[in-house]
Amino acid sequence: MRLLHTMLRVGNLDRSIAFYTGLLGMKLLRREDYPEGKFTLAFVGYTDEQNGTVIELTHNWDTSAYTMGDAFGHLAIEVEDAYAACDAIRAQGGQVVREAGPMKHGTTVIAFVTDPDGYKIEFIQKKV
């Protein structure tokens, strides 16, 4: 068994693809429209689906926004430098909601940003 993908519902697919590819540096792996179901799926990731876990962005054509629930936590991405990653996100118009720094009860450097739909993404600085 292996983890294939995590699915996120998004209100504006092009905006979300731009965030994940432009700001986070992922690749658009595939995109497919389902006219009969009135939805589009787009898969983004740092590697192809055969070699890693990716994110499925689901856009239901008749829904422009979703209510953020309290059960989902966040996605986590390892970065070389969490401080620089926050600066890069901010410079491109992204939102940093927790500045880079050591976690409260430890030494791991983390930060949080949000995607256009409000999903939290944690940057975890790679340990050397």
* Residues identified as active-site: 122
Distance CA 9, CA 4 (A): 17
Residue 35 makes CB contacts below 8 A (sequence gap 6+) with none
Strand positions, DSSP E, the chain: 5-9, 27-34, 39-45, 54-60, 75-79, 95-102, 109-114, 120-125
